[in-house]
Structure 1
Amino acid sequence: MSGPDDVAALAAAVGLDPPVYRRADVERQVGVPHADMVRWWRAMGFAEVPEDEVAFGRDDVRMATDLASLLASGRVDDLDVLRLARVLGSSFSRIAEAQVSLLEDVDDEGGGADGVGSEGTDPGRSLEDAELLELLETSLVYVWRRHLVAALGRRLRVEAADEALRADIADPDTTTEARHEDHGTSATTVGFVDIAGFSRLSKRLDVEELGDIVDRFEAGALDVVAEHDGRVVKFIGDAVMYVAPDLEAGVRIGLDLQERAKGSDVPLELHCGVAHGPTITMGGDVFGPTVNLASRLTDVARRGTAVIPRECAHELDDRPDLLVKPVRRPYDLKGIGRTRLATVARRPEERDAPASRRRDRRDRRAG
């Protein structure tokens, strides 16, 4: 598809009103300053639109009107809007690219004997499949709602833990050690797992093989993190960043991922670093010194282990299936300084135990 007429056709196919306005037309209708419109548009990750181009429709007017009304109410400020716009833009850009790839695959399957239609692969043809388009839309809303429920549940659990901590502090019989166990409820367990030697793999494997490895790594990470009640924060190239309910869960995620990678068709060596401490969450991402520490610990990790700060090692002392070893010499971690570490691995007899048996033991501990 090409040409301005096709832009209107594409908009209609995905449920958008056709473009009939220039940016200045939208600004006049909504009463929003030009600078605000440009900032909102850029924050969502869209390419710049020439001022004289007819590129906006009634959907854009309605969205800008709703945003302007929300800001005027004082319930949120411009910074909140821009932060959410950036998260939505970056996330949905990736989702849209993945959906277009799916449409291409559908076209390939519906093509001729060679898997390609007479006009070649054209994802635009799949836009005529109303059932498929409806599934793409409803799946977005469904996954969003499920994640919203999960996020609200995590927030309620944190608030409940805060209430419990305040009650403990108010109780004169509660010891200082008990009050500060697990570093307080504002602390977060952050973990990183990356593929070691990814640059060497890139030179040795072709693009499709490399893509398959990354795909399986991401799928495994999502599976294992969910199994331990954690959350994948993001994938960064050949690494995954996640948060976990506690230090033990964070460590077990790393060890489980390494075992999966070792048993794959193309055995991979994964490195894991886990830290526990204060963080701040903004736009679904997690920031702070704890994140930096976990990332740097991954740099010095070795196969089959998770590296943690040495002062956290005592929290895993009573785990009979884990082998915790303090590292004798301190490490100079970039941006962190001299840090004492400990390694955590499964005991040799546990490495050969079936995963189901380990899950049963974990469930009994949780119960």
Structure 2
Amino acid sequence: MSASAGRGAWAGPVPGLPAEDDIGEARSTAQSSSTVQEHIDALLGGPAKYTIVELAARAGVTVDFARTFWRAMAFPNVQDHVVLFGDADVAALRVMGELVADGQLDESTVISLVRAQSHMTDRLVLWQNEALTDHAARRLGLDDASARLVVLDRVPALVDVLQAQLVYSWRRQLAALLVRTEAEVAEMGQPDTDPLHLPLQRALGFVDMVAYTRRSAELGPRALAELVQTFEYTSRDVITTRGARVVKTIGDAVLYVADDLPTAAAVAVDLVEALGAKPNMLPVRASVVWGRVLSRNGDVFGPTVNLASRLVDVAPPGAILLDKDTADALTASPAGREYTMVPRQVAELQGVGEVAPIELRRLPR
């Protein structure tokens, strides 16, 4: 779809959201528990009719496995007599149980996969709901509570589109991961036999907003939402278009990873500039570190991550700090000629010790 087509599609009546004269109806029906229950039944393929004991029996797994599966989805324990599950739950549990029974995967791996998808989809549905609520509030001139009632009533009309886009995005992301993995394995050469070495060599970057805690206490909800959204959207756009990947955002900070150091350095410089050009954006600072990491649960771990996190804490507003090893590696690369390295005062970094940071500055083009 072209940009103009997208704007046109949202200019008239929006699928899943009412016209202004339907707001009253939306408020009354959304407040009805029976209406909400109808939506839930439609989402889950029918009404609840099984207890967790019956669920386990129908799926061919133990009750303990069923409970572990349910908790891995980030839901609380369910008492044996509570009727909460339907045929869709049976089908999902049976598939994962068969993977274990057939020996394709062990139970630990299956539960890890369930945790992964549940963690991501929990955040996804929250993000989607907030986006739709914000749209309803802006388009229809509603307060927050009224906008949420509208979305609550009308979101089922968007379920098929949201689900299809999720599957599409997942397949695209998996395809990109396969390409990256193939390229990395081809470049590895001889395997590293040192048991203390972390497996992946990556460049990490942290970018955070300065004085966020104080500023956030001074802003109203709409201004705060705009600040956080501008920071996150701009960060994701710059990071991904430059060829790096977002690991996570934490309100006032973003952590990204790149397969090579020049990419991470370019992201840091471009991102500091892009955020600095945004109206009403707080000053930002950054760090870039090259080293080995461990990747688990969609996150990265290790001393390299800790060093990058501590460096950004001592960076002045607008500055990008490196450690000496990272600065030396970047200087030795062909991309090094694009930058100048400025030594900064030695800093005591919590949990790291004394480090002599080096500020990265891109030379005029």
Superposition TM-score, scaled by structure 1 size: 0.81
Residue correspondence of structure 1 range 1-367 to structure 2 within 5 A: 1=30, 5-6=34-35, 8-14=37-43, 16-104=45-133, 121-127=149-155, 129=157, 132-162=158-188, 165-166=189-190, 186-317=200-331, 319-327=336-344, 329=346, 331-347=347-363, 350=364
Identity level (%): 31
Does the CA contact (< 8 Å) of 2:51 and 2:81 recur in 1?
Answer: yes
Q: 2: distance between equivalents of 1:268 and 1:296?
A: 20
Q: Distance in 2 between matches of 1:89 and 1:119?
A: 26
1:58-83 superposed Cα distances (whole Å, 9 cap, x missing partner): 11111111111101222222221222
Instruction: Flag structure 2 segments of 5+ consecutive residues without an equivalent.
Output: 1-29
How far apart in 2 are the matches of 1:93 and 1:345? 39
Classify 1:25/1:3 alpha carbon distance in 2 versus 1 (closer, same or farther; 3 Å): farther
Counterparts in 2 of 1:79 and 1:268: CA distance versus 1, 3 Å: same
Contact persistence 1:44–1:86 (CA under 8 A): yes
**Partners of 2:233 and 2:32 in 1: CA distance:** 38
Note closer, same or farther for the CA distance 1:232–1:110 as it changes in structure 2 (3 Å cut): closer
State the Cα deviation string for residues 297-356 of structure 1 (Å, max 9, x = none): 111112332211112222232533311123353x32111222232111123xx2xx5xxx
Q: Distance in 2 between matches of 1:144 and 1:119?
A: 29
Change (3 A) 1:189 1:105: closer
For residues 34 and 241 of structure 2, what CA distance do their matches in structure 1 show?
49
CA distance in structure 1 between the partners assigned to 2:213 and 2:122 by the alignment:
26
Distance 1:184 1:120 in 2: 46
Q: Which protein, 1 or 2, shows the higher relative CO under an 8 Å CA cutoff with sep ≥ 6?
A: 2
Shift of 1:145: 1.1
Distance (whole Å) between structure 2 residues aligned to residue 118 and residue 210 of structure 1: 20
Residues 196 and 226 of structure 1, relative CA distance in 2, 3 Å threshold: same
Which letter does structure 2 place at the counterpart of 1:342? Answer: I
**Maintained 8 Å contact 1:107/1:126:** no
**2: CA distance, partners of 1:194 / 1:117:** 31
* One-letter amino acid matched to 2:314: V
Shift of 1:108: 5.3
Distance 2:213 2:278 in 1: 19
C-alpha contact 2:324 2:356 (8 A) present in aligned 1 = yes
CA drift at 1:42: 1.4
Name the counterpart of 1:363.
none
Aligned partners of 2:207 and 2:285 also within 8 Å: yes
Question: C-alpha root-mean-square deviation of aligned residues, in Å?
Answer: 2.9
Matched residue of 1:17: which SS? coil
User: Does structure 2 retain, via aligned residues, the 8 Å contact 1:194–1:270?
Assistant: yes
Cα pair distance change 1:278/1:123, threshold 3 Å: same
**TM-superposition CA deviations, 1:140-161 (whole Å, max 9, x none):** 1111111111111111111111
Distance 1:118 1:97, change over 3 A: closer
Distance 1:142 1:120, change over 3 A: closer
How many residues get paired?
Answer: 329
